[in-house]
Amino acid sequence: MSVPVVEIENLVKRYQELVALDHFNLTIEEGEIFGLLGPNGSGKTTTINCILALLAFDKGTVRVFGREMRPDSYDLKRQIGVVMQNVAVFQELTVYENIDYFCGLYIRDKALRRQYVEDAIDFVGLNDFRKFYPKKLSGGLLRRLNIACGIAHKPKLIILDEPTVAVDPQSRNKILEGIQELNRNGATIIYTSHYMEEVEQICTRIAIMDKGKNLAIGTTEELKRMIKKSEIISIDILDLLPAQIAAIRDIKHVYEVTFEHHCLKVLCSGGSHNLPHILNYLQEQNVSFGRVYSELPTLNDVFLEITGKELRD
Ligand SMILES: Nc1ncnc2c1ncn2[C@@H]1O[C@H](COP(=O)(O)OP(=O)(O)OP(=O)(O)O)[C@@H](O)[C@H]1O
C-alpha cells in the first residue's frame, strides 16, 4: 500500500484560550482532490498552516509523504505548492517576473525554469497579461496569478486555501477546471472552501469540519448516505383524501408527508425507488398529478443534520 500524502493525528492547536483544532485527525491519499469544508472560523486555515509547519501546535503529529513535517523540512516543502487565501505577489514585478521569482525558489536550472514559467502562464491563461503589473489585473486574474506562483514548480502536493473567494464566474470555472487538470497530471490536491457546490463538483473526498473537529469524512455520496433525509419528492395534485395521505406515509422509506396548497411533499430516506413507489400508488388510486420533482440532499443538508446549523454564514 502506498504511503499517505498527509497524515494528521490528534492535532491540537490553541490560540490562548481558543481551541482552533481539537484532536483533529485526517489522512489524505495520493491522487485525491481532498476537500476541507467548513464555515468561517472552523479551523481550515489553521489545519493548512499546521500541515506546512508554519504554525507550532500544542499536540499531535503531522506527516507529509510519510515523514514528520518540521519548519526546516525544506526537501518536503519543495514538493508542496501553496495557494493561500490572501493574494501574495510582488507589486513591483510583472506577471512573468512574479511567476519566475516563485518558481526560482525551487527550480535552479534556468532553461527548465523558463519552460515551467511558460507552462504556468499557459495553464492559468495569462498569456496576454505576462507584462502586466499586478495592480492592472482584475480580482479574478490576480487570483490566477497567485495560483500560477504557487504551482509553477510542479509540486506533487498542492494546497489551495479558498482560491475562488470573490472571483468572477469565468475565473472561478477556469480555476476549478485547472485544479482538476493538475490532479489528472498527477498532483494530490487539498482544497479548502466554504462553498459546498465547488467542493461537491471537484473533490473526490471531503471532510466536514466545525469548531476544529472533523465531523464526517467520505465521498459526496457517502456523506449524503450518512443523513436521514435523502430525497424530497414534490408532486402537484388537485386533491388527496386523508386516507391516501396516510397510505403514502406507510410506503417504505417515507418518513414525512405533507399536503398543502395542492402540493404533496414526501420526505424519504435511503432507497433509490422512492419516486416510482409513490407514483405507482397514485396511479393505482387514479389520482391525476401535474409537475413532479425530486430534490436530492446537498452537502449543506449533511452539515445541517450533523451540526444543526447552515454551512453558509
Ligand atoms: N492568529 C490567531 N490568533 C487568534 N485566533 C486565531 C488566529 N488565527 C485564527 N484564529 C481563530 O481560530 C479559529 C480557526 O480559524 P481559521 O482561520 O483556521 O478558520 P477557517 O476555517 O480557515 O476560517 P475562514 O474560512 O474564515 O478562513 C477561529 O476562531 C479564528 O478566529
Sheet holding 33-37, edge to edge: 80-83, 157-161, 188-193, 33-37, 205-210, 213-218
Q: Quick one: average pLDDT of 223-231? A: 81
Q: How far is the CA of 192 from the centre of ligand 1 (A)?
A: 13
Ligand 1 contacts CB of residue 13 (under 6 A): no
The whole-number pLDDT of residue 131 equals 97
pLDDT tens digits for range 157-182: 999 998 888 788 888 888 899 899 99
Q: How far is the CA of 102 from the centre of ligand 1 (A)?
A: 26
pLDDT tens digits for range 60-95: 999 999 999 999 998 899 999 999 888 889 999 999
What is d(CA 158, CA 184) in angstroms, rounded to the nearest whole number?
13
What is d(CA 20, CA 273) in angstroms, rounded to the nearest whole number?
43
- Return the best residue to mutate from 46, 50, 208 for the ligand 1 pocket (most ligand atoms within 8 A of CB): 46
pTM above 0.80, yes or no: yes
Return all residues near 108 (Cβ < 8 A) that are at least 6 apart. none
ipTM exceeds 0.85: yes
**What mean pLDDT, rounded, does the chain reach?**
91
Q: How far is the CA of 251 from the centre of ligand 1 (A)?
A: 46
Q: Show the domains of the chain with their CATH numbers.
A: 6-225 (3.40.50.300), 228-296 (3.30.70.100)
230: closest CA among 175, 188, 272?
272
Ligand 1 contacts CB of residue 98 (under 6 A): no
Indicate the burial class of 196 (C-beta count within 10 angstroms; 0-12, 13-18, 19 or more): buried
Q: How far is the CA of 211 from the centre of ligand 1 (A)?
A: 10
Ligand 1 contacts CB of residue 104 (under 6 A): no
Ligand 1 contacts CB of residue 46 (under 6 A): yes
| Amino acid making up residue 248 | I
Task: Name the residue with the closest Cα to ligand 1, atom 9.
Answer: 46
The whole-number pLDDT of residue 312 equals 61
The whole-number pLDDT of residue 2 equals 78
Confidence of residue 194 (pLDDT cuts 50, 70, 90): confident
The phi and psi torsions of 35 (rounded to 5 degrees) equal -100, 130
Element (H, E) at 249: helix 242-249
What are the cell numbers at 119? Answer: 507552462
pLDDT tens digits for range 3-17: 899 999 999 999 999
Task: Name the residue with the closest Cα to ligand 1, atom 31.
Answer: 41
Ligand 1 contacts CB of residue 115 (under 6 A): no
What is d(CA 231, CA 248) in angstroms, rounded to the nearest whole number?
15
SS3 73: coil
Q: Write the secondary structure of 185-213 as one string of H (helix), E (strand) and C (coil).
A: CCCEEEEEECCHHHHHHHCCEEEEEECCE
The whole-number pLDDT of residue 181 equals 92
